[in-house]
A and B are shown apart, each in its own frame.
Chain A
Amino acid sequence: MRRIPIVFFLLLVAGGCAATPRKPVWVPAEGAFAAPKSGYSVVLPAGWTRVNREERLLITRDGSSLQFIGVATYKVGTPLQHTKKKCEKGMLPQELADILIDDIASTGNVASVEVLENAPARIGDVEGFRVVCRIRFKGGLDRKCAFYGAMRGDRVFDVYYTAAARHYFDRDLGVFEEVARSFRFMPPP
């Protein structure tokens, strides 16, 4: 699955999913969610809704313009969407984190990215990283974003949360941490 960058998930959903002909259908999110082809499963919170698509996870409570949590995976050696950099085998978690941050910073409508936290963290059973950053958009809107990431096999997994910097981010950060704790790798099909 091609990684959909965090900051563009919002535009994709809010814009009626311009990349696909179908409009997203939102369904209650609560419970286990498995994406076997992508190789992971998570447990989703009550009171949130999910875009009803196989393999692509995106959930929100108040609407995707206010907050959303998602999981993306992409193949090692494939250029990211906004930076031409690639994650390669043998990279340290810190190097992976830097590439994902650069991808956000290279997004056309992003004015600046301020990294607030960047530290080693486990995701599933793999050593990875956890990053928190503030993203300022050219339109002046501030959002905060937290994401865990790790490489496993030939894939990079990215569990992310983005919300309006004011009020929403702090309010739902705990929910995101619960989702991240529930993340499990699944064996390849």
Chain B
Amino acid sequence: MSLPAKAAAALVLAAALAGCAATNLSPHTGSRLALEEDEKRVWLQAEDGEKRLNRSGLVEESPELDAYLAGVVRKLFPDVPFEFRIRVMRDAGMNAFALPNGAIYIHTGLLARMENEAQLAALLGHEGIHAVNRHAVKGKREMIARSAIFAAVTLGGWGGSLFTMASVTGYHRDLEREADAEGFRRMAAAGYDPSEAPELFRILGRWIEETGVKDPYFFSSHPRVKERIESFESLAAATGGKGIVQRDLFLAKTRDVVLETAGLDLKAGRYESALRGADKFLSIPGDGAKGHFLRGETLRQRNGAGDGEAAVEEYLRAISANASYPEPYRALGLIHYKKSDKVEARRYLERYLLLNPGAPDRPYVEGYIRASQ
């Protein structure tokens, strides 16, 4: 055997051993947490990343929502030796990810588009399995192993970089499939309705179609959405039966997230998404003033045929829902101001400032009132 061939063989052996080490890692279950040496480093990095994320200004400060999410994940994983921490990140995109130390982050965009707790359980089951089944350290070991294989392939002159790349994708997808299947089992074992798992991915699929997003994080290197829907449908059919859906409680807990996501959609000029979000918010019991105002703002800014009139109606509905909510008065005042309807402009704008004496746009509004005298 030539020297390069011997080196290649040694590296392939090393890679195989590393692969075995990765696959032999047992899940973190039971009462005692035992981390391997390289895994401790992975956890330290995760803790650092978690701190940075929590300081980023992106994470929602909502102890009530955090407690609700933590309660759901505890039902799914009653047997793990660490605490899951679920936080919500302000982002209209459809994403969620788990750090190896049990920190899970869900984007507001994903949470806002879910319909019930069973779908949330499907997501948390998937993400939780990444942490419990130690996918980060497995992935790291696999990466090291693949580096060795790549070196071996190069030394051996097989010209197989394409093979190496394919294996990279393949292994990662295997971990995702494992997270899908075991997360689903956790969800079903906790008593949730199995048929809601494929629905979560249908929602994701519809969002991809609507937005034209090619590579959202949640899907990058994941098995294809259609494939996952089919896979979950098979799992749900095999499991059968009905279970907990918990729609009303979930919607009540995530109502503010729905409104916030719709607001982000409006900022980005995604008017149709903003309207859907406002409609969903209004369908959940509670004060509807902010939902009507958001609808009004969206219609006014979209400025299509009939939108102006519809916006005025929404602002008036917002005032009917909560007469002390200042924003619709400002909006109506500006509409009248632009029409040179000075009396009505002044009436609404003065009311706005009365209700919101510290209004950040007071200098503008005072100017409109002066010009309307």
Q: Residues of A at under 8 Å CB distance from B?
A: 79-80, 82-85, 88, 90, 92-95, 102, 105-106, 111-112, 115, 118-120, 136, 138, 140
Contacts and interface: CB of A to CB of B under 8 A. Distances in A.
B360 A118 contact: yes
B246 interface: no
Interface of B: 52, 55-58, 90, 267-270, 301, 303, 334, 337-338, 360-361, 363-364, 367
A111 B267 contact: no
B269 A94 contact: no
A82 B92 CA distance: 13
B239 to A, nearest CB: 39
B56 A92 contact: no
B301 A85 contact: yes
22 contacts: A83-B267, A84-B268, A84-B269, A85-B269, A92-B364, A94-B361, A102-B267, A106-B267, A106-B268, A111-B56, A111-B90, A112-B57, A115-B360, A118-B360, A119-B363, A120-B363, A120-B364, A120-B367, A136-B56, A136-B57, A140-B52, A140-B56
A15 B183 CA distance: 41
B269 A83 contact: yes
B269 A112 contact: no
Contacts of B90: 111-112
Contacts of B57: 111-112, 136
A102 B269 CA distance: 9
A112 B90 CA distance: 9
Nearest to B337: A92
Nearest to B268: A106
A88 B338 CA distance: 14
B222 to A, nearest CB: 21
A-B pairs, top 3 by smallest CB distance, nearest first, are: A84-B269, A85-B269, A119-B363
Nearest to B365: A94
Contact of A79 (B269, B301, B337, B338): B269
A138 B268 CA distance: 17
A186 B334 CA distance: 31
Contacts of A84: 268-270
